[in-house]
Amino acid sequence: MEPQVIFEDDDILVINKPAGMTVNKADTTRNEKTLQEWVEEYLHLPPAPQKQSITIDTDPRDVFLLRGGIVHRLDKETSGVLIIAKNPESFVELQRQFKERIVKKRYIALAHGDVTPNEGEINVPVGRLPWNRMRFGVLAGGRESLTKYTVMERYYHVARGQKELLTLLELQPLTGRTHQIRVHLKYLGFPIVADELYAGRKQARGDRTWCQRLFLHANTITFVHPVSKKEVQFTAQITEDLQSALDSLGKR
């Protein structure tokens, strides 16, 4: 399970992250190789300073090393395009672009149900659930979160003689909340296929008989190159496992 390099120059590295790979190191990742460790080896980065909390006063070079140049994250089970800065200056500039919503991301997801209308947006406050710290949800007082979506195709899956409708979506998150797309689709009543957190355990178990993991893929990312100042776009094609899951379905 190795990331695929999509693009690389002196300032940035763009990769296709495989599903099942955790992005950042943590106390809970000691028994697995994270993307951050892969990046540190690939870029031959010097050791990070002794573990410390990152604050607004932390030296940018220390933040760059503490995060292994990784500017943003994808969930462990989500595959797709991800940007890595190769030096502190590029790291700071790309972080600024994310903060100011200059970066544009598009995802592909397969959701349960017949999503209508064909285009729309979801704009609800999202926060961590007080009764389950592993999950997020729509909460009064949560942080602003906005996602636009477009229907790409409709499918159906047959199980025990019953047809279930499914919708393939392209989604553009305009904010960057944790689990944002997953929470938004759950809120609409169209949870993502094989989503163990938000589709429900029984549904996810059934999904994983024909789709082995969360059907969510970061397809494209657009941003301004930190040095050339030209807008660039990179695409990670949908993975073989997700394509195989689609190929097993009937088109509506």
Q: Which residue has the higher pLDDT, 162 or 166?
A: 166
Q: How confident is the model at residue 244 (pLDDT cuts 50, 70, 90)?
A: very high
The per-residue pLDDT for range 84-94, each reduced to its tens digit, is: 999 999 999 99
Q: How confident is the model at residue 52 (pLDDT cuts 50, 70, 90)?
A: low
Between strands 162-173 and 146-159, the pairing is antiparallel
The pLDDT value recorded for residue 60 is 78
Break the chain into its structural domains and give their ranges: 4-251
pLDDT at residue 62 is higher than 90:
no
User: What is the domain class of 4-251 according to CATH?
Assistant: alpha beta
Q: How confident is the model at residue 56 (pLDDT cuts 50, 70, 90)?
A: low
The per-residue pLDDT for range 180-197, each reduced to its tens digit, is: 999 999 999 999 999 999
List residues with catalytic annotation: 75
Q: Which residue has the higher pLDDT, 61 or 124?
A: 124
The pLDDT value recorded for residue 99 is 94
Q: What is the mean pLDDT of residues 25-45?
A: 88
Do 115 and 167 contact (CB within 8 A), yes or no?
yes
Percent of the chain with pLDDT over 70: 97
DSSP string, the chain: --PEEEEE-SSEEEEEEPTT--SS--GGGTTS--HHHHHHHHTTPPPPPSP----TTS-HHHHHHHTTTB-S---TT-EEEEEEESSHHHHHHHHHHHHTT--EEEEEEEEES---SSEEEEE--EEEETTEEEEEEE-TT-B--EEEEEEEEEEEEEETTEEEEEEEEEEEESS--TTHHHHHHHHHT-PBTT-TTTT-HHHHHHHTTT--S--EEEEEEEEE-TTT--EEEEE-PPPHHHHHHHHTSEE-
